[in-house]
């Protein structure tokens, strides 16, 4: 008998040989895929460890690359903050101009509609 782990439903597999074969096939296929993934991950880890232990020059090069990228990221952050400040200033100026325009074009006794 086979018990489904999620629903705890009991299936008598001896009465359905095709179902049993299908389930075994799926389990084996997934196991094979998982083993392939683990081997690929182990290979990546080995490459990364080998790369980090390959010498002082590569470490210095990687550190300089990391530092360059950090500086570039800080510059992008400053640019983004400046852009946000400019947008806030533009919104404020637009709101002021919209209010001035509304006052200039409004007619006496007209009720202002709000959104």
Are 49 and 16 part of one and the same domain?
A: yes
Are 62 and 90 part of one and the same domain?
A: yes
φ and ψ of 48, to 5 deg: -65, -40
Query: What is the per-residue pLDDT for 110?
Result: 67
**Assigned domain for 1 exists:** yes
pLDDT band at 57 (very low <50, low <70, confident <90, very high): low
- Domain hosting 21: range is 1-54
Q: How many domains does the chain have?
A: 2
- Mean pLDDT, residues 82-108 taken together: 87
pLDDT band at 52 (very low <50, low <70, confident <90, very high): low
Residue 14 clears pLDDT 50, i.e. is over it = yes
pLDDT band at 8 (very low <50, low <70, confident <90, very high): very low
**Assigned domain for 114 exists:** no
Which residues, at least 6 apart from 23, have a Cβ–Cβ distance to it below 8 Å? 2, 13
In percent, the amount of the chain with pLDDT more than 70 equals 70
Distance CA 87, CA 76 (A): 16
Query: What is the per-residue pLDDT for 15?
Result: 62
pLDDT band at 45 (very low <50, low <70, confident <90, very high): confident
**Assigned domain for 108 exists:** no
* This prediction's pTM: 0.40
Residue 67 clears pLDDT 60, i.e. is over it = yes
Query: What is the per-residue pLDDT for 113?
Result: 65
């Amino acid at each position: 008998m086979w018990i489904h782990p999620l629903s705890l439903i009991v299936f008598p597999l001896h009465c359905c040989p095709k179902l049993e074969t299908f389930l075994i096939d799926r389990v084996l296929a997934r196991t094979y895929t998982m083993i392939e993934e683990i081997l690929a991950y182990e290979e990546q880890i080995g490459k990364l460890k080998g790369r980090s232990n390959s010498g002082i020059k590569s470490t210095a090069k990687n550190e300089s690359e990391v530092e360059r990228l950090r500086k570039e990221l800080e510059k992008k952050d400053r640019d983004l903050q400046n852009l946000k400040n400019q947008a806030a200033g533009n919104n404020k100026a637009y709101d002021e101009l919209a209010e001035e325009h509304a006052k200039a074009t409004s007619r006496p006794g007209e009720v202002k509609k709000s959104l």
